[in-house]
Amino acid sequence: MTKIAIIQRPPVLLDRGATLAKAVQWVAEAAQAGASLVVLPECFVPGYPSWIWRLAAGRDGSVMGQLHARLLANAVDLGAGDLAELCEAARAHEVTIVCGINERDRQQGGGTLYNTVVTIGANGELLNRHRKLMPTNPERMVHGQGDASGLRVIDTPVGRIGALICWENYMPLARYALYAQGVEIYIAPTYDSGEGWLGTMRHIAREGRCWVIGSGTALHANDIAQDFPNREALFPDPNEWINDGDSVVVSPTGQVAAGPMHRETGILYAQIDVASVAPARRTLDVVGHYARADVFELHVRRTPAVPVQYVDGS
C-alpha cells in the first residue's frame, strides 16, 4: 500500500517564491504524515490565471496585459533552476512530487507561457515535463500549445505515473497513449470541478483500469491579494468560492476511494495499492486483449517541437 497526498491549498497568486515556499512546507507536512507521493494542482506555481474567464481580450486588454506580465515574471524556467527548492524537498523527504506550473523557456525565447506538469523523483531529479497539448478556450490567450515529448509514463518508487492536464483528459487519444505505456497511477491536475468532472475521473479509472488522482484547485475570494490588478471588478464578492476544488482519488474499478474535497482547503490523503491494477485489467485491457490492432492504430510523435536550430562553425 502507498499513501498519497493531494494538496488542495491556494498558491500565493502571482508570486513564485512565496508559492514555492508554501509548497515546500506542505510537502514536509505530507511526508511527515507518511505520504510517498505528493500532488499539486494545475498551474500551481504561481497560480492558475483565473481572470481569463472574466475578462474580454479586446475590452480589457490593459488589465490583461498587467496580469500577464506578472504571471510571466513569476513563471518557472526549468533551465534556470526555478524549481530547485521543490526538487530539494522531494530529495530530503524521499517523496515523488507531481506539480502544475506556468512554464517559460528562455532557451526558446522566453516569451511564451506553457501550462506544464512536472514529475520530480524521490532523488530530487526532474523525471518528466509535460506541456498541455491544447490550452482550453480562453487559456489560449495565455498559454502556448505543448508537444508530445513529455507524453510519457514514468517509473517511480510508488508505481508507473502518467499525467494529463485538465481538459486534456477529454482527449481519447492522449489517454490511450498513457494506457499503452502501462500507467498505474494516472494524475489529472485540473482547474475543473463539479459532478461532470468527477464523472470523468471515474470513467477514466474504469476505462484505463488504473488509479486516478484528480488534483483540484481550491480558490476563495479571500485568497486574492489586495494589490491584485482590478481586484474589486474581477472578484467583487468577498464570500465567493472562485473554484470548489473537488480533489478525488478513484480506484481501478471506478469507486471513489477518497474525496471529493469540496470547498475546503487542506490535504487529501488516500491509501492506494498499485497491485490492484493488474487483476482489474484481466477483464478489460483497452490496449491489450480488448484492443483491435488490426483495425485501429495510433501514432504519437514525441519529437520535441523546436522553432529554431543553430549550426555554428568550428
- What residues pair up with 269 in beta bridges, in sequence order? 5
What digits encode the pLDDT tens for the residues 229-273?
Answer: 888 888 999 999 999 999 999 999 999 999 999 999 999 999 999
**Cβ distance 50 to 242 under 8 Å?**
yes
Enumerate the domain spans of the chain.
2-280
Mean of the pLDDT values across residues 176-185? 98
Which DSSP letter does residue 106 get? G
The string over 58-76, giving b where at least 16 C-beta atoms fall within 10 Å of a residue's C-beta and e elsewhere, is: eebeeebeebbebbeebbb
Looking at residue 56, its pLDDT comes to 75
Residues annotated as catalytic (active site), given as ranges: 42, 132, 166
Taking the C-alpha atoms of residue 257 and residue 270, their distance in angstroms, rounded to an integer, is 7
User: 290-295, long-range: CB within 8 Å, 24+ apart, which pairs?
Assistant: none
Mean of the pLDDT values across residues 180-196? 97
Q: Is the pLDDT score of 305 beyond 90?
A: no
Mean pLDDT lowest for which of 138-142, 149-153, 189-193? Answer: 138-142
Structural class in CATH, domain 2-280:
alpha beta
What digits encode the pLDDT tens for the residues 267-296?
Answer: 999 999 999 999 999 999 999 999 999 999
